[in-house]
Structure 1
Amino acid sequence: MPASRLRVAGALCLAVLTITSCKKNFENINTDPVGIADKELISDYNDLKFFFQMEQRSVVNFSGGGDPNSYQVQQNLNADNFSGYFMSPTPFNGGNNNLNYFMVQGWNGEAFKVGYLNIMANVRKLKNNGIDQTYPSVWAVSQLIKVTAMSRITDIYGPIPYSTVGLKVNNPYDSQKDIYYSFFTELDDAQKKINDFVTAGKTLPFNFSDFDLVYNGNLATWLKYANSLRLRLALRLVKVDPAKAQLEGEKAMNPANGGLLTTAADNMAVKVLGVGFSNPLVFISQDWGDTRMNASIESYLSGYADPRLGKYFDKATDKVAAGQYKGIRIGTSIASKDDYIGYSGLNVKDGTPTFSKSSAVQLMTAAEVYFLRAEAALRGWANAGGSAQSLYESGISTSFQQYGLGDASTYFNNATNVPAAYSDPRNAVNNAPSPTSITVKWDNGATNEQKLERIITQKWIAVFPEGQEAWSEFRRTGYPKLFPVVQNNSSGTVNTAVQIRRLPFPQNERNTNSTELDKGIQLLGGPDNGGTRLWWDVAKPNF
């Protein structure tokens, strides 16, 4: 086989991410997370396109061959449920699994593995081939993708190897503070490279739109995304590092730096293109029937009479709830998949379906950015571009526009409706009262804490179905108020009322990098279990 074919064949195992032998035989990330460091690896534009798109696809964990198993264990059976969006009707592992805090070791390492074998490995391939020097604007976009992906990984585990990945055999762990500071530095570098490229009027010797699965090669929109990502990460730090949070947040919102995402056309979503690729969440819901509506999002959307309910979910087909929108409470005891599979799934069939296997996978919306700005305004930061109320209402309106729902003023002026109590027609043990009395309408006389609850609750609704970000913001702020697990099988490591805060480190790290892992756990500041808070997850009021 020619050397070039060998290189592509090796890369293809990364492309399919988790199917068959690739999943069973993945290399130890500590021996060589890069895999191949050959300077001749990227020999033409097609090679460059391949590895660049690999990095983009890996952020949302696309799988090849129509088998999104990796996404399922990385996110859907973790953050998507912890965020209050979804719950599985399938009693995995005999009913003892992450959804009732019995942490399944084989699930907990998937995000870690993908972060290094599919994100950091492809970044290192590009770096080793000098892309940062020959095509700095392409490298800049690669850095934005890297920060997007690795911010999700550190927000799952806490301290992780970052600064020396690809440079050492046994990778030391960095503190989460150092990792976040690195993110901001990398965003600075990426934005400068994009600005320098555009200002100089340079062009690439290939059509970058053919490479780019998000913005079709539009560097100006990538710059807006970079600012929006910076604002998201800045607000994550408000309770633990407020000065740094404000500094970075105000930089992100400064119009001189390129602007922010403002319309649905700006949404950061990775397109599903190519044979064997499909939207993994849709596949899991439609083909496997392994994910259904969570009781928490049913409570909010039905209580608020939110028209996005029918955009997000199909009506139940189960005889006890047929024609209704019905979710499953997290931690519900499920004997058989048949018990709850007829509850509401993702909207793939009712009316005009919102989601299909070809739907782009959404990572950030313009609506989210308005809510980020609303919180910044509430905190008195400069450059927010409006009052907390006006930005809050713009966030709702932009979300409505994204789903073709027209004017949102009736909705955001509703001062009466509150989230509904939850009733499970199959088992009253799962019933729960309304989680909060917060309404949609802005109230200037409310406390800052109440105003923040409104902002985060509506942001949570607009961010759907991106469960990783929703879970992170729930942990940071405590909002929206989510139903706790019905059953807690954590043996006391996770407090039912506080809810789960992180995933334990993967067993592979214990097997292959134990000395550095022990140092990482020291940086974590608590035991390696689901109840330990991350650096930015501080147990104190938001104001």
Structure 2
Amino acid sequence: MKQLYIGLAAMFVLTATGCNKFDDDINKEPNNPEKASATQLIASAQQSLPDIGSAFDKNASPYGIHYPQYISGTTFTENSRYNTVNFNFYPIYAGPLMNLQEAIRVASNPNEGPVPNQIAVATILKAYYFWHITDRWGAVPYTDALKGREDFTPAYNTQQQIYTDLFKSLDEANAAFVAGSIKNDIIYNGDVSKWKKLGNTIHLLMALRLSKIDPVKGAEEFKKALANGIMESNTDNFNYVHLVDKVNENFWYTSFTRLKRNWFAVSKPVIDYMQPLNDPRLPVFADKNVAGNYVGLEYGLPGSVSVVINNISLLGTALRQQNSPVYLVTHAQALFAKAEAAKLGWIPGGDGEAKANYDMAIQQSILQWTNSSNGAAEFLEQSQVAYNAATGLRQIAEQRWIHLFMHGYEGWAEWRRTGYPLLSPAPNNNSQEIPRREGYPTQEIANNGVNYSAAVSAFPYGGADNLDSRVWWDKP
């Protein structure tokens, strides 16, 4: 598996040239491309974004959605019982990250530019992928990774080192943008103002991750990102929009409609939280059962249990259309972060500012998920929802958990950081607690054993390479 660190970007970008999501007119001969442009490499990296919700394997059952207990398995329940310990990060490095590294190199070539906007966009996407990786595994190859033949066995950087460098990279990207747009952009259609706001919003959300481990640094980075300009409306959301065609369809459409697999029901914890509040988002998240009721499926059922599909609520039909979008970083998410930052004293305004941002976050979340503001005012008036200074941090965390529905790895990260909502481990899992991190790919022991062993021995809170050890910011 040494190919993880070999420069194979050209091979991966060729999958993008046949996709109708962006132009391929940069090739003199479409059937025999001479080389990939920076924007084509960026577009190829963008195509991997929805895979964040399915563990970078569209042919496998997703894992991230199970950790924060968004989904319960109806047929194969191993994922919700945490049976898999080691997960493979190789495809992320060899695919989107290698493409982005090559895009930065190509755009930086004097014969090609330099093109500041291309480099800035590639830098933001690279930071987003590395943020995802380090929040799942902790210490990972970073500084020495993506060097191709120069280094087959890269050392691991600590998560603290990675976060520090990602903050720096996002600062540089924010400062680098110039007037103009970029081609082949399948996310924002070349609008670099939206890319700039995305980079700063990622910076803001990363800063909040430090609330337990380094609140001083967290507040500093948070205020910097806020001053640089974050998302201002749902039109700024970082969404991956699928297409009405087989090659570019939503994963859940493939699973439910094309493969006829009713394997994913909305969990009992989600429906039990939302239904008593008449949450306007529930009809989007879940379908009613044949009796016309919302019934969540118990989480972590043993594999021997037979589920009667007609009795439970499957994942909502609206979320599994062929062209259903995947929400990755959103305006409401940033507003929840601002609400928490105000409550923590990171930004001025105290509980008044926390309430204002909390209320707006819920309103924008309802608008995002339902395409309407109907019901938002009534929802916020309920005593269990209305902001209360005494329980503010918990309310913010729980409503953020609902908002992040189906973005499992992000919901899981926020659960690890805040402890909310109060979730119980799956009951049929040999006493395994809810995971705190994912184990490294088993191939690393053979391919990069010295650096792998050094990383494990340096875990910030001790432990083994398993699901129970904690990443750096997840301070006990």
Shared topology, TM-score over 0.5?
Answer: yes
AA aligned to 2:255 is I
Aligned length in residues? 443
Shift of residue 221 of structure 1? Answer: 1.2
AA aligned to 1:138 is Q
Q: Give the 5 Å matches for 1:139-288.
A: 139-167=119-147, 168-194=151-177, 197-198=178-179, 203=180, 208=182, 210-254=183-227, 257=228, 259-273=229-243, 276-286=247-257, 287=259, 288=261
Are the counterparts in 2 of residues 295 and 328 from structure 1 also a CA contact under 8 Å? yes
Q: Deviations over 1:440-496 (max 9, x none)?
A: 11123x1xxx2111001111111222111100000000011224312123xx5x33x
Change (3 A) 1:358 1:251: same
Tell me, in whole angstroms, the C-alpha distance in 2 between the residues paired with 1:101 and 1:61: 20
Shift of residue 279 of structure 1? Answer: 1.3
AA aligned to 1:301 is M
Tell me if 1:58 matches 2:48: yes
* 2:359 alignment partner in structure 1: 393
AA aligned to 1:57 is Q
Q: CA RMSD in A?
A: 2.7
User: Which of 481, 506, 516 matches 2:422?
Assistant: 481
Tell me, in whole angstroms, the C-alpha distance in 2 between the residues paired with 1:249 and 1:179: 17
Shift of residue 280 of structure 1? Answer: 1.4
Q: Deviations over 1:307-354 (max 9, x none)?
A: 21101111124xxxx322222222211326654586322221xxxx35
* 1:121 alignment partner in structure 2: 98
AA aligned to 2:99 is N
Tell me, in whole angstroms, the C-alpha distance in 1 between the residues paired with 2:373 and 2:320: 16
Are the counterparts in 1 of residues 55 and 63 from structure 2 also a CA contact under 8 Å? no
Q: Give the 5 Å matches for 1:337-416.
A: 339-340=308-309, 343-348=312-317, 353-382=318-347, 387-402=353-368, 403=370, 404-415=372-383
Change (3 A) 1:451 1:240: same
Are the counterparts in 1 of residues 265 and 296 from structure 2 also a CA contact under 8 Å? yes
AA aligned to 1:154 is T
AA aligned to 1:119 is P
AA aligned to 1:127 is I
Are the counterparts in 2 of residues 366 and 398 from structure 1 also a CA contact under 8 Å? yes
Change (3 A) 1:473 1:341: farther
Are the counterparts in 2 of residues 232 and 372 from structure 1 also a CA contact under 8 Å? yes
Are the counterparts in 1 of residues 262 and 309 from structure 2 also a CA contact under 8 Å? no
Tell me, in whole angstroms, the C-alpha distance in 1 between the residues paired with 2:435 and 2:349: 32
* 1:88 alignment partner in structure 2: 73
* 1:527 alignment partner in structure 2: 464
Change (3 A) 1:310 1:291: same
Change (3 A) 1:33 1:473: farther
Name the SS for the 2:328 alignment partner. Answer: strand
Q: Deviations over 1:146-198 (max 9, x none)?
A: 1111211111111110111122210111100001111101101111111xx12
Are the counterparts in 1 of residues 332 and 362 from structure 2 also a CA contact under 8 Å? yes
Name the SS for the 2:65 alignment partner. Answer: helix
Shift of residue 51 of structure 1? Answer: 1.7
Change (3 A) 1:341 1:155: farther
Tell me, in whole angstroms, the C-alpha distance in 2 between the residues paired with 1:512 and 1:234: 33
User: Which of 298, 301, 309 matches 1:329?
Assistant: 298
Shift of residue 384 of structure 1? Answer: 7.6
Name the SS for the 1:60 alignment partner. Answer: helix
Q: Deviations over 1:118-161 (max 9, x none)?
A: 12211222133244752221111111111111211111111110
Tell me if 1:103 matches 2:84: yes
* 1:24 alignment partner in structure 2: none
Shift of residue 77 of structure 1? Answer: 3.3
Name the TM-score, length of structure 1 as normaliser: 0.76
Q: Deviations over 1:232-286 (max 9, x none)?
A: 10000111011110110011111xx2x2213221111012247611111343344
Tell me, in whole angstroms, the C-alpha distance in 1 between the residues paired with 2:215 and 2:172: 23
AA aligned to 1:87 is S
Shift of residue 383 of structure 1? Answer: 6.4
Tell me, in whole angstroms, the C-alpha distance in 2 between the residues paired with 1:485 and 1:397: 32
Name the SS for the 1:122 alignment partner. Answer: helix
Unmatched tracts of structure 2, length 5 or more: 18-23, 28-35
Change (3 A) 1:339 1:519: farther
User: Which of 442, 447, 450 matches 1:515?
Assistant: 450
Shift of residue 44 of structure 1? Answer: 7.6
AA aligned to 1:502 is R
Unmatched tracts of structure 1, length 5 or more: 1-26, 416-438
AA aligned to 2:294 is Y
